[in-house]
Amino acid sequence: MTAPELNALDRNVPLVLSVAAVEQHGPHLASGTDSIIGAHFLQALEAARPDGVVVLPQVKVGCSEHHMDLGGTLTVSHAVFIDYVCELAGSALRHGFRNLVILNSHGGNIAAAGVIGERLGLAFPACRIVVATWWRLAAEGLLPINLGGPGSVGHACEFETSVVMCAAPGEVRGDRIPERGDAATFPWAEGDLLRGSPAVLVRTMAEMTGGTGVLGTPALASPDHGERITGVVVDALTSVVDTLFAAQPKEHVE
At 90, which CATH number? Answer: 3.40.50.10310
Is 253 inside a domain boundary?
no
Q: Which residues pair with 46 in a beta bridge?
A: none
Report CA 37 to chain centroid distance, whole Å: 7
Is 155 inside a domain boundary?
yes
Is 251 inside a domain boundary?
no
- The tens digit of pLDDT for each residue in 127-149 reads 999 999 999 999 999 999 999 99
Is 163 inside a domain boundary?
yes
pTM: 0.96
- The tens digit of pLDDT for each residue in 200-247 reads 999 999 999 999 999 999 999 999 999 999 999 999 999 999 999 999
Task: Write out the H or E segment, with its range, that includes residue 130.
Answer: strand 128-133
Domain span at 69: 3-246
CA angle 38, 35, 144 (to 5 degrees): 45
The residue count for the chain = 254
Q: CB-based burial of residue 91 (10 Å sphere; 0-12 exposed, 13-18 middle, 19+ buried)?
A: exposed
Q: How many domains does one find in the chain?
A: 1
Is 254 inside a domain boundary?
no
Is 101 inside a domain boundary?
yes
Q: Which amino acid is at 172?
A: V
Is 150 inside a domain boundary?
yes
Is 17 inside a domain boundary?
yes
Task: Write out the H or E segment, with its range, that includes residue 36.
Answer: helix 33-48
